[in-house]
Amino acid sequence: MNFDPHAFKECFPLFAQPENRDLVYLDNAATTQKPEVVIGAIGDFYRHCNANTHRSSHRLARRATEMVERVRRQSAAFLNAASAREMIFCRGATEALNLLAYSLCSELRRGDEIVISTAEHHANIVPWQMMAQRHGLMLRYVPHVAGVPQFGRLDEVLNERTRIVSLAGGSNALGLRPDLADIGRQLRGHNLRWIVDGAQLAAHETVDVRAIGCDFFVCSAHKFYGPSGIGLLYGRESLLRNLPPWQGGGEMIARVDLYASEYAAPPHRFEAGTSPLAAIAGLGAALEFLTACDRAAIATHEQSLLSELHRDVAALAGLRLLSQPRDNLGIVAFALEQGSPTDLMHWLDEKEIAVRVGHHCAQPLIRAAGETVTLRASLAGYNTREDIEALLNALRDYQSFSGSAVDTPTLSLAGDWDGDDLSGLPVEQLAAQRSWQDRYREVMRWGRAIGRKPAIRRPENLVRGCESDAWLVHRQRGGRHYFALDSDSRIVKGLGALLLSQVDGHSAAEIRARDLAGLFAELGLEKHLSESRSNGFYALLQQVLEYAGRAGSA
């Protein structure tokens, strides 16, 4: 069966909105868009059967309860669990992993060991760290090379004290997809509990927990076209029966006395409080939606785009690929050899291309790869070849622009600093740009006027509130104020150049008299720049005013 991504995309109303007609959405590893049936199911719950479950026999409560248990059965079928009793609703994979860490580790002995990998999301590292500190447990890591786990060597860290192995079914940072069958073979015969973090896996392939052989599996609905705030925890029923709960409250109890309580049977034992009922309804719609899709055809389409994107990004100078197309769940991760990744992300954002920049809650892996941040493009079934070409064209355009002129060289002398010559940056030149895109390019060009100043990159000069690190220094001579700025981000440098061109060499009274915030708005920067970038300008402005005011009152 042929898969048509354009027809698939029509199921998602966000892309039909006028403001999103040109959107290229490549941030699917963070969250996927929602089909109309999911959005409709959430609204239908509130319109037709909004009531709490289990606690009342009235008609609305019965309908809500029936819906929840129906979706529980759907979830069991989605993961091929043996019984709906093995499915626990939680807020997402993070909550599920915290639940498992708390409940499983409470029964371990001091010196017992937990095995994880360097490729884990923070949600599959931090809970185990917390429990290890609390219970005197030992964390061990799968052997790795430059941060990339060598899962074929897992047995090197297994011993008689290993009690828990918790590994991602796919890396959200690099897309790494381990061979779960091979991991299962290595774990066979060991007295331990095996957890698979399937937050990335469930979106891209059919999951069969019984074929995998894991004891627990977690995933989040918002990663596979479902609503946010709801996820699934699968656990073998025989294990769940003996697992202590981690939260107390309504729903999870059978009987409460003044000094002791009797807990309900699984799965309700682990669902304290009021469940996110509308989100569960949306989850049910997402599961129906996926079940009706040809998931193998979607996966083939995604892998075709993934190979194409890796090939073409690798051919671009100035970029360093960190991901590989083989055994990859749909992620292309790369870094800039020079310049600020944040600047490139903003450049793409201005061209209506949504990617993500950062450490992706996988700091150990990114650091081991020799980076602190990467850019990540992540795919879903509604992405098209036109999306890929738009991203590649934008990357080429950025390279052409950023390489078309040389930045001002370093101006610092040892232990001192000099300002920058901003006389060639008249505001009229910026205001004369006809379109916002041209004005944005001009701000980026202005950033070249700000030279590198290693001597001012000190903690006391760091400006709080800028999206990228920025350092600002000040001195006063003859009643006039002089400033110097440095940043790794060209857009921050450009905004700083705009600000300093209006205040450098002026008196405190002149600086206070200028409506700099009004100028920022008049140029359309406040309207078009994101809130975080606007906040960066205002943070610099506030620091300039504080310097001038402090010096003026001295």
Taking residue 74's Cβ as centre, other Cβ atoms within 10 Å add up to 18
For CA atoms 307, 309, 315, 319, give the dihedral sign. Answer: negative
The class level of CATH for 5-26+294-402 reads alpha beta
Architecture per CATH, 427-553: Alpha-Beta Complex (3.90)
Taking residue 312's Cβ as centre, other Cβ atoms within 10 Å add up to 16
Q: Encode pLDDT of 307-338 as tens digits.
A: 999 999 999 999 999 999 999 999 999 999 88
Taking residue 369's Cβ as centre, other Cβ atoms within 10 Å add up to 21
- Domain edges within the chain: 5-26+294-402, 37-292, 427-553
Find the distance separating the first CA and the last CA of the chain, reported in whole Å.
77
pLDDT of residue 532: 67
Query: What's the burial of 416, exposed, middle or buried (CB within 10 Å: 0-12/13-18/19+)?
Result: exposed
Q: Encode pLDDT of 512-536 as tens digits.
A: 898 888 888 888 876 666 676 677 7
pLDDT of residue 416: 67
Q: Which of 11, 214, 361, 466 is catalytic?
A: 361
Active site residue 361: yes
Local confidence band at 369 (pLDDT 50, 70, 90 cut-offs):
confident
Q: The domain 37-292 is classified under which CATH number: 3.90.1640.10, 3.40.640.10, 3.40.50.620, 3.40.605.10?
A: 3.40.640.10
Query: Rounded to the nearest 5°, which phi and psi values hold at 538?
Result: -70, -30
Q: Encode pLDDT of 85-124 as tens digits.
A: 999 999 999 999 999 999 999 999 999 999 999 999 999 9
Longest dimension (CA), the chain: 82
347 close to 188: Cβ distance less than 8 angstroms: no
pLDDT of residue 340: 81
CA angle 279, 281, 286 (to 5 degrees): 90
Q: Encode pLDDT of 257-288 as tens digits.
A: 888 888 888 999 999 988 999 999 999 999 99
pLDDT average, residue stretch 65-89: 97
pLDDT of residue 56: 65
pLDDT of residue 405: 47
Cα 413 to Cα 241, 455, 456, 461: the distances in Å are: 69, 7, 10, 17
Lowest mean pLDDT among 161-165, 242-246, 248-252, 504-508: 248-252
Q: Which two tokens stand for residue 190?
A: 């060991």
Choose between 280 and 540: higher pLDDT.
280
Cα 36 to Cα 226, 241, 294, 329: the distances in Å are: 11, 38, 18, 25
Q: Is the peptide bond before 267 cis (omega within 30 degrees of 0)?
A: yes
Q: Which two tokens stand for residue 46?
A: 């509130």
Q: Encode pLDDT of 393-447 as tens digits.
A: 999 998 887 765 445 554 444 346 778 988 888 888 888 887 777 888 888 888 8
pLDDT of residue 527: 65
d(CA 131, CA 211): 29
12 close to 6: Cβ distance less than 8 angstroms: no
Query: Closest by alpha carbon to 116, among 178, 168, 187?
Result: 168
d(CA 105, CA 122): 18
